[in-house]
């Protein structure tokens, strides 16, 4: 059975290689620098948007970040309404509620403000506004037939890279299973990378989201679908993260570090949306479903363990990342190990523990089964993982007695 499953996985990867060739090179028109979110608001007005649905979460509203954007929109004469019902791992019901507000208020464009969850919800809302089909029918590859409402993006974290990706993840509120909506039409029209909106992020959030971006870049680089173009973006992201994430965590007001992390997330997003990800994300998604573990934190905990597993067949690629960081080691195997050690050292420096406190032994078989099933859909991983491999790997993440 394992041989048959691996053969099916190999076929899925072969198909995915062809699918990724269909992805357009287009990326959103992107503004960068302190205060550029106000420039985005001006552009929205210039494009003739009459009324805008802002998709965000209640925390950002409470913190006053959304008010900074609405004030800029007011100055430009753009009307708006706020849907702040998005929670981590947004559900179809939350997206339906946002879509209902868009229609009720007569909005004609969507602005996403926040991290990955508001971005994902906003993408699906914008697509559903013009595609007359149940939301769940949008899940899958290239099922968005009609051009969505214009979508604009202002990320407030440096992690997901959602402002340049063509995917959105929506959860089933009953089963907690993730549904992926993947279509090039989901790309925003414009995005603003404004480090001023990130200075208030607490250090733990900065750390987790930064490790999310690192995971995107590393998994993209190691994917068998990688290309010279995606590798340029991935390696740029990796260098920026190692140089700037500790700075951003230790001093949240370091604008240059915040700007660099925003760019790193952006570069990593461009890379992985053209290669896909791997087992780190598959396991992390399942941790999120079981324990509501924040996605970036889950990725951080899982990443070094999957690197340990993958390096058996990908030592050359991992060693290249060690050389990228200027790590001194003799021989390919040692250089690869130096990079994995550097990932663990980075986690320790920014305060991320190597284990998951919520993880229970009795859950491991179910987690492994679900994670491997996701990974085998089409993730272009360098080394095939069985359920037994996955169980053994997850066991290493149990909290210490």
Query: 384: closest CA among 8, 121, 82?
Result: 8
User: Is residue 297 over pLDDT 90?
Assistant: yes
Neighbours of 251 (CB within 10 A): 13
**Rounded (10°) CA dihedral 70, 74, 76, 82:** 40
CA dist., res. 60 & res. 44, Å (int): 21
* pLDDT value for 22: 66
Q: What is the token pair recorded at 27?
A: 């990326």
The pair phi, psi for residue 25, each rounded to 5°, is -80, -5
* CATH 3.40.50.2300 is held by the domain 203-395: no
- Give the largest CA-CA distance in the chain: 64
Query: 328 or 80: whose pLDDT is higher?
Result: 80
In terms of phi and psi (left: phi > 0; alpha: psi -120 to 50; beta: otherwise), the region of 330 is beta
Query: 382: closest CA among 225, 214, 215, 216?
Result: 225
User: What are the pLDDT digits (tens) for 113-152?
Assistant: 999 999 999 999 999 999 999 999 999 888 999 999 999 9
* pLDDT value for 211: 98
CA dist., res. 46 & res. 53, Å (int): 17
Q: Indicate the average pLDDT of the chain.
A: 94
User: Is residue 198 over pLDDT 60?
Assistant: yes
Sorting pLDDT into bands at 50, 70 and 90, what band is 400?
Answer: confident
CA dist., res. 218 & res. 318, Å (int): 9
Domains 26-197 and 203-395 belong to one CATH topology: no
What fold, for 26-197? Rossmann fold (3.40.50)
Neighbours of 240 (CB within 10 A): 26
* pLDDT value for 76: 97
Hey, where are the domains in the chain?
26-197, 203-395
User: What are the pLDDT digits (tens) for 4-47?
Assistant: 777 877 777 777 677 776 676 788 999 999 999 999 999 999 99
Q: 111 - beta bridge partners? A: 54, 152
CB 66 within 8 A of CB 41: no
CB 78 within 8 A of CB 49: yes
The pair phi, psi for residue 302, each rounded to 5°, is -80, -35
* pLDDT value for 102: 98
Residues written for the chain:
401
Sorting pLDDT into bands at 50, 70 and 90, what band is 292?
Answer: confident
CA dist., res. 234 & res. 270, Å (int): 8
DSSP conformation letters of 98-152: HHHHHHHHT--EEEEEESHHHHHHHHHHHHHTTS-S-GGGG-EES---SPPSPEE
User: What are the pLDDT digits (tens) for 226-253?
Assistant: 999 999 999 999 999 999 999 999 999 9
In terms of phi and psi (left: phi > 0; alpha: psi -120 to 50; beta: otherwise), the region of 96 is alpha
At how many degrees (to 10) do helices 2-20 and 364-378 cross?
A: 50
By three-state DSSP, how is residue 399 classified?
coil
Query: 303 or 26: whose pLDDT is higher?
Result: 303
* pLDDT value for 64: 94
Tell me the mean pLDDT in the region 274-289: 93
């Amino acid at each position: 059975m394992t041989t048959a499953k691996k053969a099916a996985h190999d076929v899925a990867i072969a198909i995915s290689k062809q699918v990724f060739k269909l992805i357009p090179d287009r990326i959103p028109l992107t503004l960068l620098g302190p205060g550029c979110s106000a420039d985005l608001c001006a552009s929205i007005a210039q494009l003739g948007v009459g009324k805008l649905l802002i998709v965000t979460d209640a925390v950002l509203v409470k913190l006053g970040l959304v008010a900074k954007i609405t004030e800029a929109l007011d100055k430009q004469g753009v009307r708006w309404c706020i849907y702040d019902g998005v929670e981590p791992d947004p559900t179809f019901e939350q997206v339906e509620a946002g879509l209902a507000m868009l229609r009720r208020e007569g909005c004609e464009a969507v602005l996403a403000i926040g991290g990955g969850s508001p971005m994902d919800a906003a993408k699906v809302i914008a697509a559903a506004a013009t595609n007359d089909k149940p939301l769940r029918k949008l899940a899958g590859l290239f099922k968005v037939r009609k051009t969505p409402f214009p979508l604009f993006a202002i990320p407030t974290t440096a992690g997901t890279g959602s402002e340049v990706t063509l995917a959105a993840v929506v959860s089933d509120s009953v089963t907690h299973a993730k549904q992926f909506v993947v279509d090039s039409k989901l790309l925003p029209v414009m995005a603003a990378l404004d480090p001023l909106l990130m200075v208030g992020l607490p250090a733990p959030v900065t750390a987790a989201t930064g490790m999310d971006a690192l995971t995107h870049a590393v998994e993209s680089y190691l994917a068998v679908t990688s290309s010279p173009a995606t590798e340029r973006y991935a390696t740029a992201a990796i260098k920026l993260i190692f140089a700037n994430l500790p700075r951003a965590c230790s001093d949240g007001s370091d604008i240059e570090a915040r700007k660099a992390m925003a760019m790193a997330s952006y570069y990593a997003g461009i890379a992985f949306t053209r290669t896909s990800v791997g087992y780190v994300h598959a396991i992390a998604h399942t941790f999120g479903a079981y324990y509501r573990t924040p996605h970036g934190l889950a990725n951080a905990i899982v990443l070094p363990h999957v690197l340990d597993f993958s390096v058996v067949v990908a030592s050359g690629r991992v060693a290249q990342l060690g050389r990228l960081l200027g790590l001194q080691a003799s021989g390919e195997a040692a250089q690869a190990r130096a990079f994995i050690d550097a990932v663990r050292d980075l986690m320790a420096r920014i305060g991320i523990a190597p284990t998951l406190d919520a993880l229970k032994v009795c859950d491991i078989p179910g987690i492994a089964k679900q994670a491997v099933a996701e990974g085998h859909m089409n993730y272009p991983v360098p080394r095939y993982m069985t359920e037994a491999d996955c169980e053994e790997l997850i066991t290493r993440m149990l909290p210490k007695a």
